Amino acid sequence: MSSLKFLLGKLTKGFAFLLWKSPVFVRRGVGILLGTLWLDILRIRRNIVIENIQRAFPNLSDKEALRLGRKSLFQLGQDFAEYSFLPFLTAENLNSKIQFRGLENLDHALEGKKGVLLLTLHLGHGDLAVGGLSLKGYDMVLVSKFFKLKWLNELWFGMRAKLGTEFIAPRDSSFQLLKMLRKNKVVVIPLDQFTGPPIGVKTTFFGHETGTAAGLAVMSFRSGAAVVPGYTFRSSEGIHEVHLLPQVDMEKFKDSEDAAQKATQHFNGLLEQMIREHPDQWMWIHRRWKEFVVT
């Protein structure tokens, strides 16, 4: 196993180096190839992609929705190719691949010394954004499922951990996350996937009923941590732009009835806005809209 792990590591890094050094049109071509394979040849979740897009943008025809879905899968394929950046990113070459906007909003939120909950979504290359922020000197923490294979964990998470990002398994993570917030770290919470009861609350997303995790709101109320919305997208030149917005005023929800539900609904509105700006870079393959059933 050790020799296989060594060989796989070398092969993966060699392939990643070629993609790292390649011009953007090569990685874009890889994205188109992978996206076409996924959506048009294997047709994985093709109908779900079209249905999701038409829920959000009901004026689009099937053909227009499919065209947008294709663009999204092309971008997702390019995201996969650009994981090759992770082993080679440094503080010195970071700005050639990733540009940051609104870092002052994150700095201001951290001045409260109670940590930051980074409200985000699966739009653009979030892993590069987190890695880039780590290289910028921010203490980044991400909740992520781990693989059963130890060598795969070391390969996949090791690349990002070398940039400074910390990882926590989702099971029983609340205590660990609160501990990280007390150390004034930045905890990344993607909030755009369906979550049912008991940890989800009934909300709407693009006007349609669904369930959304209430943990971000609850954690902010419990810890006093600031909530900073942020997202990333790939520009037409192939540069990843990371945008960090002013922190959410959580006080306006704190004393209201169903405070967590109202705050979470507000978060959904912010995510909708991000998607509307870059609909071709959100992951439409999620089953975002499911029936919220309380048992």
The answer to whether 190 and 129 have CB atoms below 8 angstroms apart is no
Residues contacting residue 97 through CB under 8 Å, at least 6 positions apart: 85, 89, 128, 132, 239, 240
Kindly report whether the peptide bond that precedes residue 279 is cis, defined as omega within 30 degrees of 0. no
Considering just the CA atoms, what is the radius of gyration of the chain in Å? 19
- Domain range for 68: 2-281
Q: How far apart are the first and last CA of the chain?
A: 46
> Would 255 be classed as within a structural domain?
yes
Query: What global pTM score does this model have?
Result: 0.94
Counting the structural domains of the chain, the total is 1
Angle between helices 126-135 and 150-161 (to 10 degrees): 50
Residues 66-97: tens digit of each pLDDT: 999 999 999 999 999 999 999 899 999 999 99
> Would 65 be classed as within a structural domain?
yes
Residues 180-236: tens digit of each pLDDT: 999 999 999 999 999 999 999 999 999 999 999 999 999 999 999 999 999 999 999
Q: Over 90: is that where the pLDDT of 57 sits?
A: yes
> Would 293 be classed as within a structural domain?
no
Categorize the per-residue pLDDT at 144 as very low, low, confident or very high, splitting at 50, 70 and 90.
Answer: confident
Query: 200-205 and 208-213 as β-strands: parallel, antiparallel, unpaired?
Result: antiparallel
> Would 292 be classed as within a structural domain?
no
> Would 56 be classed as within a structural domain?
yes
> Would 112 be classed as within a structural domain?
yes
> Would 14 be classed as within a structural domain?
yes
Question: Cα(173)–Cα(159) distance, rounded to whole angstroms?
Answer: 22
Question: Cα(13)–Cα(20) distance, rounded to whole angstroms?
Answer: 10
> Would 117 be classed as within a structural domain?
yes
Mean pLDDT for the chain?
92
% of the chain surpassing 70 pLDDT? 92
